[in-house]
A and B are shown apart, each in its own frame.
Chain A
Amino acid sequence: MANNLKDNEFDVIIVGGGITGAGTARDCSLRGLRVLLIERNDIADGATGRNHGLLHSGARYAVKDSESATECIKENMILRNIARNCVEDTQGLFITLPEDAETGFGLDYQKKFIDACIAAGISAKAIDPKDAIRMEPSVNPTLIGAVQVPDGSVDPFRLCSANVLDAKLHGAKVITYTEVTEFVKEDNTIKGVKVHNKKTGEDAVYYAPVTVNAAGIWGHSIAEMAGVHVGMYPAKGALLVFGHRVNNVVINRCRKSADGDILVPGDTVTVIGTTSTKVPFEECDNMSVTREEVELLLREGCALCPSLANTRILRAYAGVRPLVASDDDPTGRSISRGIVCLDHETRDGIKGFITITGGKLMTYRLMAEWATDAVCRKLAVAEQCKTAVTPLPGSEPKDQYSEVKIPQFAGANLGMKASIGRQGSMVRKIDFTNAEDRELVCECEQVTVGEIRYAVNELGVTSLRDLRRRTRVGMGTCQGAFCIGKAAAALAAALGKPEMADQLAADYLNERWKGMSAVGWGDTLREMEYLQRVYKSSNESK
Chain B
Amino acid sequence: MQEHSISANNFEQCQKCAICTTVCPVLANNELYPGPKQAGPDGERYRMKNPVFYQETLKYCMNCKRCEVACPSGVKIGDMIQSAKLEYGKRSHIIRDTTLASTDLVGPMASAFAPVANLALSMKPVKAVLDATIGVSKHRTMPKYSSQTFESWFKKNAAAKQDGFRNHISYYHGCYANFNYPQLGKDFVAVMNALGYGVHLLDKEECCGVAMISAGMKKQATKKAQHNVKVIGEAVAAGRKVVTVSTSCTLTIRDEYPHLLGVDNSAVRDNVVLVEKFLWQALSAENVKLVWKEDYKARAAYHVPCHQEVLGWSNFTIELLQMIPGMELTVLDSHCCGIGGTYGFKKENYETSQKIGQPLFDSIKAADPDFVACECETCKWQIEMSTGYAVKNPISILAEALDLEKTMEANR
Contacts and interface: CB of A to CB of B under 8 A. Distances in A.
The finding on whether chains A and B are genuine partners in a shared complex, rather than unrelated, reads: yes
Interface of A: 243-245, 248, 265, 267-268, 294-295, 298, 307, 309-313, 401, 410-411, 413-414, 417-418, 421, 440, 443-444, 446, 476-478, 481-483, 521-523, 526-527, 530
Contact of B42 (A309, A444, A522): A444
Nearest to B32: A411
B52 interface: yes
B45 A298 contact: no
B34 A245 contact: no
Contacts of B11: 244
A530 B2 contact: no
B5 A310 contact: yes
19 contacts: A244-B45, A265-B49, A268-B46, A268-B48, A294-B1, A295-B1, A307-B6, A401-B50, A411-B31, A413-B34, A417-B53, A421-B50, A446-B42, A446-B46, A477-B16, A482-B17, A521-B1, A521-B2, A523-B13
Contacts of A414: 34, 38, 42-43, 46, 53, 55
Q: By CB atoms of chain B within 10 A, which of A294, A401, A523 has the most? A: A523
Given A414-B38, A444-B42, A481 B1 contact: no
Interface string B1-36: 111111100011111111000000000000110100
A288 B104 CA distance: 62
B2 A313 contact: yes
Given A310-B6, A522-B4, A523-B5, A245 B49 contact: yes
Given A310-B2, A313-B2, A401-B52, A481 B16 contact: yes
A245 B7 CA distance: 12
Contact of A522 (B5, B31, B48): B5
A187 to B, nearest CB: 56
Given A411-B32, A476-B45, A477-B45, A418 B53 contact: yes
B37 interface: yes
Given A414-B55, A443-B16, A522-B4, 10 more contacts: A244-B48, A311-B7, A414-B34, A414-B43, A417-B53, A418-B53, A477-B14, A477-B45, A522-B5, A530-B15
Given A522-B3, A522-B5, A444 B34 contact: no
A250 to B, nearest CB: 14
Contacts of B73: 526
A307 B48 CA distance: 15
Nearest to B55: A414
B45 A268 contact: yes
Contacts of A244: 11-12, 44-45, 48
A522 B6 CA distance: 11
A209 B11 CA distance: 57
A443 B1 contact: no
A522 B43 contact: no
Contacts of B55: 414
Contacts of A410: 31-32
B12 A443 contact: no
Nearest to B48: A245
Contact of A443 (B5, B13, B37): B37
Nearest to A302: B2
A312 B34 contact: no
A436 B44 CA distance: 24
Nearest to B14: A477
A243 B12 contact: yes
A526 B7 contact: no
A298 B1 contact: yes
Contact of A444 (B1, B12, B31, B45): B45
Nearest to B41: A477
A175 to B, nearest CB: 35
A444 B32 CA distance: 19
Interface in B119-175: none
A303 B100 CA distance: 49
B4 A481 contact: no
Nearest to B37: A443
Contacts of A523: 5, 12-13, 15
A312 B45 CA distance: 13
Given A267-B49, A521-B2, A478 B16 contact: yes
